[in-house]
Structure 1
């Protein structure tokens, strides 16, 4: 994708928020930020002393210059100081939608009040935002104060956040992400909420106690814009932006006599800075009175694998292929049978367990956890969509290992809630075995996953063949899972030998 992001926002002479924060945050995620300045604020750490809106003629000249030569894949909008600016930006966004080959995504951070409490826009802008701008917005990122100002919904609990988000969507915003830094519910925690394509995402962490939080809203929206321009799904952009802010709050320093800025650091690399994915069964979900559609009890802390280095991991769809791979010395395998009668599946799992014992290998059963428990399998592998339906308590109490598939940062953090035996990341490359549209991870993300989850055995899967095995192994991943690279090879025995050699650690 085109790694150019525009930020349309005000300038903060104190350097902590606005255009200045946007550029720093975008650079932390290796995208190029271009600027359209809407106002020159005179402010420092103590507050806003003056707000000087830029004329619409000057704003338009900036927009025209950028459109001519540096079109954006994402446009982040911050402070718009008056109705005329809102109308002008809205007209240009309509033009981009109608004429650009790839219209930009629009992330709108409705900056109305500075961290100091000073009003940064004229009072009659709210109706213009609703009527002109929101129908053109892909993601809106208000904090709780701005949410209440825009919607009139007083945020007294989780259901109120949901109501406010629906209201913003009804006015045209496609996705709503409400930042909870000013919302002390439950006490001592920061809860953030996202409504996207009918799905809800809740993140939470203990509040980071620092007064120096100037620029957090601008920075978070800018990171979301940067991640979207790099092709990340919104739920991953959400969790990365939150981790970035947490990391920056912990490192924040005061430069003046008042409120200091959030630190603009690099890509978040410490798992402790990432928020918790809140879902049914967790303590935070209970505090927020979540209602689950499933009878579900969360379990965490599954039996550890025998080693963090699982090596070559063969994923096969029959007992016949399982035995062929075992005979060639593969020690980690998965039986993934999607079809078959109940009796056929039962017999297959029973045979797989017997073969694992015969060859002293670790065989995981995909999906069919009841049969895996019945026959005493070494482990079971579940996809994200299977977690709520499985009896995780029974799996844990059986002593079986649990592997979980993940596709991106959000799913990785969700899987971390369960403390599984290993995590699988995919698809690393496009694959014909599944439709992985929008879920291709690539080597750059794989390296990030491995660095964050050093305490887990890790598995890379998806589109990996002999030509790619060595570069995947070079990321430090503990195992490489293959499907077609063995079963569709002309000589499967030679394919296994070559794959084993390609991923073997150097002597």
Structure 2
């Protein structure tokens, strides 16, 4: 019941876009798609020959039937053919938001122009969209043509993209995804932009990849919005929904085939499992970041391709908060340990890191220091572990030049792809389960996602962390992850020696 998604949109008789594309894309991500049809278009691969708007009475009958028995977690809205339809849909959405026990998330794809160039909405609908619908929308997903039509901002560069997105936010939308398939800037690349006030206030995401040269791209906009809707229904954060939708479209464009004599549809495939289909997360200091005129901080120290670990399989990975626990683990044959200490003064930290490094050398083990990269460099540690929030204020070049390994935490697909920019020594995925060691609200990944993370990042040693105990360790290991990190499973065990032995057996 939680994975019901409605699509309120037009029917494409050619099968490439609209309702037809929506259902196929949603099915690819494991949600159940329900439909309320707003228009019956007569179209084929050569273009749109007629738009037959459905009466508001018929649309309302569809919505009432669905509401009675199959309430949606997410509602995706596509083509609305006239002002009366916009007003009707807005009234119903307003009711759902106010009256349903769990208000639905609204994803609006403002279909204005098809890939063939045909106008798909009446000219007087724009003001109705702004006044009635946008204040109810959680995520709006226009392409560049639709963005210009709605905002009047000509998208000549990144600053104009942000200006247009902020206009849409000012009219009520909580998040904006601007699809860049029609925006050739920089030349030969496809750049997509998202600003998120829906779940992460003011957070921006830029994605980029080389343009995929195919004429057969009908339905890309509908499909991308539908994947975003499906991912949100499965409680993926918006930034993950954004990057997965983009990867899905890239995958479909690469295998799209021609049906008819004109523009063929993007292929509706499956969950994207090939890293080559994923876009790059664009950051300051990268080539695409420079092309987009991103500001680079004065103390920016980007680095990539860090020293490798000895093996892709790091085994049992103990995360401890003291040198005593670190030594106990090493004595029991644990070969990968992280020292994670908090609330110590500088002198204490210096001493702790020095002792940890010495113990690592004594037991020929891989000891990582959490956060304190300067001390790790000073004392010649094996490696450093950082969270994503640490990347912007860490001298990564200094870590690399010192020959230290770098482990990075990731929470979801977007952060995984961002970490991939740095080519670290290993990637940690978490939290797999809820944990009491830190607040991971909204960041629980679960085994379903871990099964997808591991093959995507198969070139790295991979680590699963978060809420893993003996009972769960063997299940986690079955995903193919190279290491299982534990915190409380050792330090809070009645017999830590037996716990370590049992955990190693479960993982192996």
Q: Per the shorter chain, which TM-score range?
A: over 0.9
What is aligned with 2:155?
155
5 Å-filtered alignment, 1:345-364, equals: 345-364=349-368
What does residue range 152-301 of structure 1 map to in structure 2 within 5 Å? 152-196=152-196, 197-293=201-297, 295-301=299-305
1:329-368 alpha-carbon deviations (Å, 9 max, x no partner): 1000000011211011011111011100111100000000
> Contact conserved, 1:294 with 1:388, CA < 8 A, in 2?
no
Contact 2:177 2:194 in 1 (8 A): yes
1:413-463 deviation line (CA, Å, top 9, x unaligned):
000000000000000000000100000000010010001011110000000
**Pairwise CA distance, 1:226:** 0.2
Once the 2 structures are TM-superposed, how far is the Cα of residue 295 of structure 1 from its aligned partner? 2.5
Q: How far apart, CA to CA, are the structure 1 residues paired with 2:168 and 2:342?
A: 41
Cα drift, residue 296 of structure 1: 1.0
Deviations 1:6-29 (A, max 9, x none): 000000000000000000000000
Is 2:393 the partner of 1:389? yes
**Does 2:469 match 1:444?**
no
Q: Which secondary structure state, in structure 2, belongs to the residue aligned with residue 257 of structure 1? A: coil
C-alpha contact 1:294 1:389 (8 A) present in aligned 2: no
Alignment match, 1:125? 125
Partner of 1:464, secondary structure, is coil
Quote the offset at 1:501 in angstroms. Answer: 1.0
User: How much does 1:404 deviate?
Assistant: 0.1
Q: Is the 8 A contact 2:411 2:443 kept in 1?
A: yes
Query: How far apart are the structure 2 equivalents of 1:330 and 1:206?
Result: 44
Give the match's secondary structure for 1:219.
helix
CA distance in 2, matches of 1:281, 1:443: 34
Structure 1: distance between partners of 2:264 and 2:380: 58
Tell whether 2:427 aligns with 1:423.
Answer: yes
SS in 2 for 1:48: strand
Supply the distance in 1 between the matched residues of 2:297 and 2:170 (Cα, whole angstroms). 25
SS in 1 for 2:393: coil
For the pair 1:113 / 2:117, whether they are aligned, the reply is no
Aligned residues: 504
8 Å contact from structure 2 (residues 301, 394) kept in 1: no
Per the TM alignment, residue 294 of structure 1 is displaced from its structure 2 partner at its CA by 5.7
Q: Distance in 2 between matches of 1:121 and 1:152?
A: 17
Specify the SS of the correspondent of 1:325. Answer: helix
After TM superposition, what 4+ stretches of structure 1 lie above 3 angstroms from structure 2?
Answer: none
> Following the alignment from structure 1 to structure 2, what is the Cα–Cα distance between the partners of residues 163 and 295?
28
Give the superposition deviation at 1:186: 0.4
**1:293-335 deviation digits (Å, cap 9, x = unpaired):** 5631311100000000000000001111100111111000000
1:81 is aligned to 2:73 = no
Structure 1 CA distance for aligned equivalents of residues 41 and 108 of structure 2:
19
Counterpart residue number, 1:24: 24
Q: Deviations over 1:252-294 (max 9, x none)?
A: 0011100000000000000000000001111000000001456
SS across alignment from 1:204: strand
Task: Write the distance in 1 (CA, Å) between the matches of 2:123 and 2:292.
Answer: 33
The separation in 2 between residues aligned to 1:216 and 1:244, in whole angstroms, is 10
- Partner Cα separation in structure 2 for residue 255 and residue 144 of structure 1: 26
For the aligned residue pairs, the C-alpha RMSD in angstroms reads 0.7
For residue 369 of structure 1, the aligned residue among 367, 373, 379 is 373
Aligned mates of 2:301, 2:287 — CA distance in 1:
11
Q: Which runs of 5+ in 2 are unaligned?
A: none
* Distance in 2 of aligned mates of 1:265 and 1:347: 55
User: Deviation digits for residues 205-245 of structure 1, max 9, x if unmatched?
Assistant: 00000011000000000000000000000000000000000
Give the aligned partner of residue 334 of structure 2: 330
Native 8 Å contact 2:46 2:263 kept in 1: yes
CA contact (8 A) 2:3 2:234 kept: yes
What does residue 2 of structure 1 align with?
2
Following the alignment from structure 2 to structure 1, what is the Cα–Cα distance between the partners of residues 84 and 296?
45
Cα deviation code 1:31-89 (max 9, x no counterpart): 00000000000000000000000000000000000000000000000000000000000
Match of 2:488 among 460, 479, 484: 484
Answer with 219-228 or 283-292: which moved more: 283-292
1:62-101 to 2 correspondences below 5 Å: 62-101=62-101
User: In 1, distance between residues paired with 2:445 and 2:297?
Assistant: 30
3-state secondary structure, aligned to 2:392: coil
Q: Deviations over 1:147-205 (max 9, x none)?
A: 00000000000000000010000000000000000000000000000000201000000
Distance 1:11 1:293 in 2: 49
Mapped to 1, the partners of 2:378 and 2:10 lie a distance apart of 63
